[in-house]
Structure 1
Amino acid sequence: MAIGRKLFADTSYDTLSMDDIAKHAGVAKGLIYYYFKSKRGYYLAIVEDSVAQLVARAASGTELPPAERVHRTVDGYLRYAQSHQAAYRTIVTGGVGFDTQVQAIRDTVREELIATIAEGAYGRRTIPLIARLALLGWLTSVEYVTLDWLGHQELGRDTVRDLLVRMLGGTLRTIEEFEPGCPAREVG
């Protein structure tokens, strides 16, 4: 999987062959087919593994105070995106062309991240629709801010993290205005 992540980070999906993958992995091509059935199966397994790491990172650290947890989570998100740029771009943009399987993975990740944020902010994963919608808006802005930052990286990761954390604070305050049952916590 690590070799595949690196290969797909350096080479486009269309130009990377199963022969190339097997050569870099030092295994017979048949072994890759045995476990993944196809190049697409291998690619989707890499995307799924990558997003599982991202979600696990976001869900960890529940023992930390909320503000510290948010900073650590957003910083981890940015580190992940920076270290796994090809996988991150695939997750956020939906993959090569219109890829329904990659988009389904992305949507699952978004829902899990929203539930994780809700749990940290409100102590529960199920929240009113208006709160979910606002957090989805924040999360999609995080995705595209991160994509743009990866393209330029003129700002340091700490600056981008602080920007995103403050944007989350504003989102939580706005949610509270619409839904008093979801009081805003100070996140940064």
Structure 2
Amino acid sequence: MNNSQQVGTDRSQARRGELIAIGRKLFADTSYDALSMDDIAAHAGVAKGLIYYYFKNKRGYYLAIIEDSVAGLVVRADATRDLPPAERVNRTVDGYLRYAQHHQAAYRAVVTGGVGFDAEVIAIRDGVRERLLAAIAETVWGRTDLPPVARTALIGWFASVEGVTLDWLRTGDLPRGTVRSLLVRGLGDTLRAIEDYEPSCPAPARKEL
């Protein structure tokens, strides 16, 4: 690729990113069904054809916004890889809550399944779950291949994380640090329950988690 081609690619990616940032704000304030492509183009200050060029249709635009939003969540979890286990877990959970707090529309869409029961949004959510569960398993046990009981228990804990987070966003009754502490403590209890059923997955000492 020559320099002019590289510049063109960089500009195209930057423009796509700008459109995603605009869409994130639009969908945060307005429901999916209430926004037409004409509305989106008018808010973005571009021709409607440009949005079709990058995303093909409104659904493609919506999915691109969700995928871009949750990508930051996974990156945060991976960025804690070199920290001690307890600190990594705390940072991962805190990063998750920060993401949910600052990207509430995308978070709700991912957790609740998007527009109706959207299989592609569910697939995005499941991918995020898998990456975050793998990060926790690697932190605690140094492995990502989980026995069935460990996987089931962690999925149960993560489902509770989603429920607690949605309620916290709705009510705003608790500081983020309190919610984080509750979720981390719940993880510690889950890990100790896993050890009872699967000794090959020992739980950390209580003082550690």
TM-score normalised by the chain length of structure 1: 0.96
After alignment, is 117-126 or 34-43 more displaced?
117-126
5+ residue gaps, structure 2, are 1-19
- Percent identity over paired residues: 72
Q: For residues 44-103 of structure 1, give each alpha carbon's deviation from its aligned partner in whole angstroms, at most 9, with x where no partner exists.
A: 011111121111112221111111111111111001001000100010000111111111
Task: Find the structure with the greater CA-based Rg.
Answer: 2
SS in 1 for 2:83: coil
For residue 139 of structure 1, the aligned residue among 155, 158, 169 is 158
Q: Distance in 2 between matches of 1:128 and 1:55?
A: 23
Matched AA of 1:109: V
Q: How does 1:8-23 map onto structure 2 within 5 Å?
A: 8-23=27-42
For residue 155 of structure 1, the aligned residue among 147, 170, 174 is 174
Q: How does 1:97-116 map onto structure 2 within 5 Å?
A: 97-116=116-135
SS in 1 for 2:128: helix
For residue 108 of structure 2, the aligned residue among 59, 81, 89 is 89
**Deviation, structure 1 residue 40:** 0.4
Query: Match for residue 117 of structure 1?
Result: 136
**Deviation, structure 1 residue 107:** 1.4
Q: Report the count of equivalent residues.
A: 188
Higher RCO, 1 or 2 (CA under 8 Å, sep at least 6)? 1
Matched AA of 1:139: F
**Aligned: 1:67 with 2:86:** yes
> Runs of 4+ in structure 1 displaced over 3 angstroms?
none
Q: Distance in 2 between matches of 1:124 and 1:161?
A: 24
5+ residue gaps, structure 1, are none
SS in 2 for 1:180: coil
Q: Distance in 1 between matches of 2:81 and 2:161?
A: 21
TM-score normalised by the chain length of structure 2: 0.87
